[in-house]
Structure 1
Amino acid sequence: MKHFPAAIVASLMLTLGGCASLMAPPVNPGEPEPQVIARLGTPTGIYQDNNDKLLEYSRGPFGQYTYMARIGPDGKLISYEQVLTLQKFATIKVNQFNKADVLRTIGKPNDTIYYSRTKLDGWNYGYKENGVWNSQMTVYFDDAGIVRKLENGPDPRYDHDRSGFRR
C-alpha cells in the first residue's frame, strides 16, 4: 500500500471541495436577498421577471456554468439553479423569445457575433453538456431581436485541432 504525502492529499481535497462548491447551491430558499448576495457576491447580471428579480452568477472555466437566483417580491430567495443545460435551452421558444427573454432564461452569452450574410446575431454559450462534453449553444436573433434558431455543437475554444498550425 502506497502512502501519499499529506500535502498532496490536502491539495486534492481542496480541489475536490472547490468543484463541489461550484456545483452545489450555497444558498437556500427563503433566505433574504442581502444574505444571498453576501454569500454569492455581486451578480454578473440582474434582470426583472414580472414581480421577481433574477440575479445572474456566471461561474466556472470559460463561464460554462451560470446560476440564476430568483428573488420573489417579498425579497426572499425562491430558487437557485444552473441554467446552462439542454433542458433550459429547450425552453427558449423560436420565433417568440426576444433578447430580454433569453437573458432572463440563461443569462449573458460568452461572446456574440453578427453574421452579415444571413443578417443574424449569434449569442454563444459555452457549457458542459450532460456534465461531460465541452459544448456550445448558439442562439440566433434576427435584426428585430427575435430568436430564429438554436444550434448546438462542440465548443471551439476546446478544439485544439483548429489552432491554425498544420503539420
Structure 2
Amino acid sequence: MQFMKKALWIAFLGIFLSACAGIGSRAVATGESESQVISKLGNPTNIYKEGTSRLLEYKTGPWGQRTYIARIGPDGKLVSYEQVLTNEKFASIAVGSATKDDVLRRVGSPSETSYLSLKNLEVWSYPYKESDTWNSVMHVHFDQRGIVHSLQSGPDLRFDADRRWPFGMIGL
C-alpha cells in the first residue's frame, strides 16, 4: 500500500511539473511570419513601432511578472522574442532622457499607473522577478515632460504573507 501511494504521488508530481513547464514558454522561432507568431501566441496586448520594426507585446498572468516582446522586422519576419521584465532591461532605461515611448518599447506597458502629486511625477509600476528570484516591483517615475526622472525597485507586497488580507492588513 505504501508503495502504491508513493507511485501515485510521483506520477501526479510528474504530470503537474510537465504541465507547469508549458506555462510562459512559447513555441516561436526566428524567421516565422508575423501571422504565424500571432496564430501561435494569440493577439498581442499592445503593438509598438520602432523604426521599421513592429514590437508585439505579450503581458502575462494576473501577477504580471513576465512580459514578452516579439520583434518583427521590416520583412514581416520574427527577429527576436524575449522576456523583457529583467534587471538588464530596466538598467538600460536612460534616466533624464528616456521618454514614455522609449520605456514602452523597452519593457512594455505597465501593470499599474499612479501619480505623486507632491513631486508632480507619474509612476508606472512593473511587477517582476528581480534576478529571476525575488518578487519585486520596478517603479518608473516620469516628470511633466514625460521624461524618466528616476527608477525605484522594491519588494512586491502582494507576495508578503504578513500583509495579505484578511489578517495581515488589520490595523494598517
Query: 2:59 maps to what in 1?
Result: 58
Counterparts of 1:5 and 1:139, CA distance in 2 = 49
Counterparts of 1:112 and 1:14, CA distance in 2 = 38
Count of matched residue positions in the alignment of Structure 1 and Structure 2: 166
Counterparts of 2:12 and 2:77, CA distance in 1 = 36
Letter of the 2:92 partner, please give it. Answer: T
Query: 1:44 maps to what in 2?
Result: 45
Q: Which sections of structure 1, spanning at least 5 residues, go unmatched?
A: none
Query: 1:143 Cα shift?
Result: 1.1
* Higher CA-based Rg: 2
Counterparts of 2:144 and 2:81, CA distance in 1 = 32
Query: 2:116 maps to what in 1?
Result: 115
Give me the TM-score of the superposition, normalised by structure 2: 0.88
Give me the TM-score of the superposition, normalised by structure 1: 0.90
Query: 1:79 maps to what in 2?
Result: 80
Asked if 2 retains the 8 angstrom alpha-carbon contact of 1:22 and 1:60, the reply is no
Query: 1:66 Cα shift?
Result: 0.2
Q: Which runs of 4+ in 1 moved over 6 A?
A: none
Matched, 1:164 2:169: yes
Asked if 2 retains the 8 angstrom alpha-carbon contact of 1:71 and 1:78, the reply is yes
Query: 2:100 maps to what in 1?
Result: 99
Map Cα deviations across residues 72-121 of structure 1 (whole Å, 9 max, x no partner): 00000000000000011011000111111100100011101100000001
Counterparts of 1:11 and 1:73, CA distance in 2 = 46
The percent of aligned pairs where both chains have the same amino acid is: 50
